């Protein structure tokens, strides 16, 4: 290298001596470019993508909230500012719901350095005796069975279907479960705590970057930033093990999806927005909450900073978790109460639904009515709705609960499963259904838990068709048999838990 520089210098000197001004200028320019290329090898083709140079997060920009003895929750300060939310039309993997807009955030806020962990959520449960939505009913949550998410009474935040440590991100929590944690922590920490808005989440995730991921554009970068289907297909991993973004946040790409405050819908306003949050779902559409960040079940394109996902607020999936935000300064008791009240109003009526289920008698439907219900479904297919209405009215006059009304079920295929719209009177009863997927028809059963906008049943694929096979009323012989099979599932889970420690709490596929 030194020999080349000496030769180059000799050539330049001889040209200058010859008095060629234009040539000398060209040489000077060439020399400058050569020196720059020698001094900055990282700019060469094929070198790693450069990340923004941001000073390490100082102690004054971090916050640690004590939750219990030896358990804290770390947060990082995010400054107010303006950024572009969404993605350009040229971005690979983008979807139509990512139309870019300029967003101005007017307040500083803290955001979780990591996703909320099993240990941290456990501290909340221990302090309050809280019972998650997956644990309240008989259906359980959607855990990982080794290949896909499957619903079973054995699955909850304590058992997501993969081995987890206290430092794994908590999963199988609903939007309401996540809000309950924030309400408790607000009182416990003396500071307003909430879920992030979509804008707050994306601003913190990008950390000043406009690239697809928070550290570049190539899909190959995704596996260095987050856990996804190619590097963690069998479950989430402990938090904080991969590259953080420039502001010191971990796992904002991959691992588990993170609930946000917003209802899912087109960005409003579409142009410039200040502190935006969508407080109501779009008219005429199924109400769903936003999730961000991708998960261990998703591809690299779903880990992009602009990528959006959505689900029913009551969804309890093994790849759904959350991260919290906190006010930049401690609040007064009234401010915390107002924040807690606002969070309670957004809790999707989980407590009301639980109370409704508790007050609805189960098991007082006669076997005769159960059989007649199945007959009604068959008659509907043969003679049409008008005949069914007349038949139901006649049956209603003969007695039994639900007189004068048919138990109407509507099943609608969706991206990863299907929606069930049912009247509240069917809560706690069982739907047997048939669904057509990539491997052909499948039959399964689910306990009905009616909710605003419908109940989502996860299949892992978009069904080509889905249909009702039977409704089993609580107390009927068929329902008793189905419950017996679920009790066997519980016994299997108990046997699994009693196995040697090295094999505890693994999915059945293992």
Supply the pLDDT for residue 187.
Answer: 93
Distance between CA 159 and CA 148 in Å, rounded? 15
Q: Residue 508 has which token pair?
A: 């059945």
Task: Tell me if 249 sits within 8 A of 207, measured CB to CB.
Answer: yes
Band the pLDDT of 111: cuts 50, 70, 90: very high
For the beta sheet containing 440-447, the strands, ordered from the edge strand earlier in sequence to the opposite edge, are: 440-447, 430-437, 465-472
Q: Which is higher by pLDDT, 353 or 243?
A: 243
Supply the pLDDT for residue 71.
Answer: 97
Burial of 381 (0-12, 13-18, 19+ CB in 10 A): exposed
Inter-helix orientation angle 2-17/21-39, to 10°: 160
Average pLDDT (9-36) is 42
Q: What does pLDDT average to over the chain? A: 75
Q: Which is higher by pLDDT, 155 or 486?
A: 155
Band the pLDDT of 415: cuts 50, 70, 90: confident
Residue 256 has pLDDT above 60, yes or no: yes
Band the pLDDT of 223: cuts 50, 70, 90: confident
Supply the pLDDT for residue 239.
Answer: 98
Task: Tell me if 78 sits within 8 A of 110, measured CB to CB.
Answer: yes
Supply the pLDDT for residue 1.
Answer: 47
Band the pLDDT of 53: cuts 50, 70, 90: very low
Question: Other C-beta atoms within 10 Å of 498: how many?
Answer: 8
* Tens digits of residue pLDDT in 334-372: 565 666 666 666 665 433 233 333 333 333 333 333 333
Task: Tell me if 480 sits within 8 A of 429, measured CB to CB.
Answer: no
Supply the pLDDT for residue 59.
Answer: 57
* Tens digits of residue pLDDT in 55-82: 445 557 899 999 999 999 999 999 999 9
DSSP 169: B
Which range is least confidently modeled, 52-56, 134-138, 213-217, 438-442?
52-56
Highest-scoring range by mean pLDDT, 278-282, 347-351, 370-374, 418-422: 278-282
Supply the pLDDT for residue 431.
Answer: 85
Distances (CA, A) of 382 to 54, 211, 261, 377, 407: 69, 57, 46, 9, 18
Supply the pLDDT for residue 425.
Answer: 82
- Quote the percentage of the chain above a pLDDT of 90: 46
Band the pLDDT of 52: cuts 50, 70, 90: very low
The structure's pTM equals 0.62
Residue 21 has pLDDT above 70, yes or no: no
Supply the pLDDT for residue 32.
Answer: 39
Q: Name the residue among 197, 188, 191 with its Cα closest to residue 336.
A: 191
Segments in 207-332 forming alpha helices (H):
219-225
Supply the pLDDT for residue 339.
Answer: 64
Q: Give the three-state DSSP class for 182.
A: helix
Highest-scoring range by mean pLDDT, 223-232, 411-420, 427-436: 223-232
Burial of 295 (0-12, 13-18, 19+ CB in 10 A): buried
Residue 506 has pLDDT above 90, yes or no: no
Which range is least confidently modeled, 52-66, 149-163, 228-242?
52-66
Band the pLDDT of 132: cuts 50, 70, 90: very high
Beta bridge partners of 144: 149
Q: Which is higher by pLDDT, 383 or 339?
A: 339
Domain boundaries, the chain: 63-355, 367-496
Average pLDDT (84-111) is 95
Q: Give the three-state DSSP class for 172.
A: coil
Task: Tell me if 28 sits within 8 A of 15, measured CB to CB.
Answer: no
Sign of CA dihedral 16, 19, 20, 25: positive
Which range is least confidently modeled, 1-15, 69-83, 200-214, 426-440?
1-15
Q: What is the distance, to the nearest Å, from the Cα of residue 400 to the centroid of all Cα atoms in its chain?
A: 42
Q: Which is higher by pLDDT, 504 or 348?
A: 348
Which range is least confidently modeled, 121-125, 305-309, 482-486?
482-486
Average pLDDT (268-288) is 92
Residue 443 has pLDDT above 80, yes or no: yes
382: Cβ–Cβ under 8 A, 6 or more apart, which residues? Answer: none
Q: Give the three-state DSSP class for 156.
A: strand
Band the pLDDT of 454: cuts 50, 70, 90: confident
Burial of 194 (0-12, 13-18, 19+ CB in 10 A): buried
Supply the pLDDT for residue 407.
Answer: 55
Supply the pLDDT for residue 347.
Answer: 64
Q: What is the distance, to the nearest Å, from the Cα of residue 4 to the centroid of all Cα atoms in its chain?
A: 57
Burial of 329 (0-12, 13-18, 19+ CB in 10 A): exposed
Which range is least confidently modeled, 3-12, 213-222, 464-473?
3-12
Residue 108 has pLDDT above 70, yes or no: yes
| Fold entry, domain 63-355 | 3.90.1580
Highest-scoring range by mean pLDDT, 112-121, 228-237, 326-335: 112-121
Which range is least confidently modeled, 40-44, 84-88, 95-99, 445-449?
40-44
Q: Residue 359 has which token pair?
A: 């007050």
């Amino acid at each position: 290298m030194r020999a080349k520089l000496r030769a180059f210098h000799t050539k330049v000197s001889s040209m200058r001596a010859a008095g060629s001004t234009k040539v000398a200028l060209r040489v000077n320019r060439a020399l400058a470019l050569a020196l720059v290329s020698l001094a900055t090898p990282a700019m060469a083709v094929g070198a790693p993508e450069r990340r923004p140079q941001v000073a390490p997060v100082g102690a004054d920009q971090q916050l640690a909230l004590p939750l219990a003895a030896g358990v804290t929750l770390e947060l990082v300060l995010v400054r107010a500012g303006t950024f572009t939310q969404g993605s350009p039309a040229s971005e690979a993997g983008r979807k139509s719901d990512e139309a870019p807009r300029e967003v101005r955030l007017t307040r500083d806020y803290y955001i979780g350095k990591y996703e909320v962990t099993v240990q941290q959520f456990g501290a909340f449960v221990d302090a309050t005796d809280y019972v998650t939505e997956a644990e309240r009913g008989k259906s359980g949550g959607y855990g990982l069975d080794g290949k896909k998410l499957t619903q079973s009474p054995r699955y909850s935040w304590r058992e997501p279907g993969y081995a987890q440590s206290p430092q794994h991100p908590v999963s199988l929590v609903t939007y309401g479960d996540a809000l309950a944690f924030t309400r408790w922590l607000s009182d416990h920490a003396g500071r307003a705590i909430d879920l992030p808005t979509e804008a707050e989440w994306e601003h913190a995730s990008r950390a000043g970057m406009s690239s697809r991921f928070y550290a570049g554009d190539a899909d190959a970068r995704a596996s260095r930033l987050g856990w996804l289907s190619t590097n963690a297909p069998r479950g989430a991993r402990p938090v904080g093990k991969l590259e953080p973004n420039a502001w010191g946040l971990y796992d904002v790409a991959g691992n588990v999806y993170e609930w946000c405050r917003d209802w899912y819908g087109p960005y409003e306003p579409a142009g410039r927005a200040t502190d935006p949050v969508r407080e109501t779902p779009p008219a005429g559409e199924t109400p769903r909450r936003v999730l961000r960040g991708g998960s261990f079940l998703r591809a690299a394109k779903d880990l992009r900073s602009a990528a959006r996902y959505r689900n029913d607020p009551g969804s309890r999936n093994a790849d759904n978790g959350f991260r919290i935000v906190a006010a930049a300064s401690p609040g007064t008791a009234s401010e915390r109460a107002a924040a807690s009240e606002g969070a309670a109003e957004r809790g999707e009526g989980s407590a009301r639904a639980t109370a409704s289920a508790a007050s609805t008698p189960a098991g007082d439907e006669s076997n005769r009515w159960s059989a007649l219900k199945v007959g009604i479904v068959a008659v509907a297919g043969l003679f049409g709705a008008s005949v069914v209405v007349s038949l139901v009215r006649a049956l209603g006059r003969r007695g039994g609960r639900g007189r004068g009304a048919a138990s109407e079920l509507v099943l609608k295929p969706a991206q990863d499963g299907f929606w069930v719209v049912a009247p509240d009177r069917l809560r706690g009863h069982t739907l047997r259904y048939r669904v057509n997927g990539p491997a052909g028809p499948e039959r399964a059963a689910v306990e009905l838990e009616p909710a605003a906008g419908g109940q989502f049943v996860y299949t892992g694929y978009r069904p080509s068709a889905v249909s009702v096979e039977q409704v089993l009323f609580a107390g009927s012989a068929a329902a008793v048999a189905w419950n017996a099979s679920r009790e066997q599932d519980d016994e299997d889970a108990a046997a699994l838990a009693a196995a040697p420690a090295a094999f505890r709490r693994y999915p059945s596929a293992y």
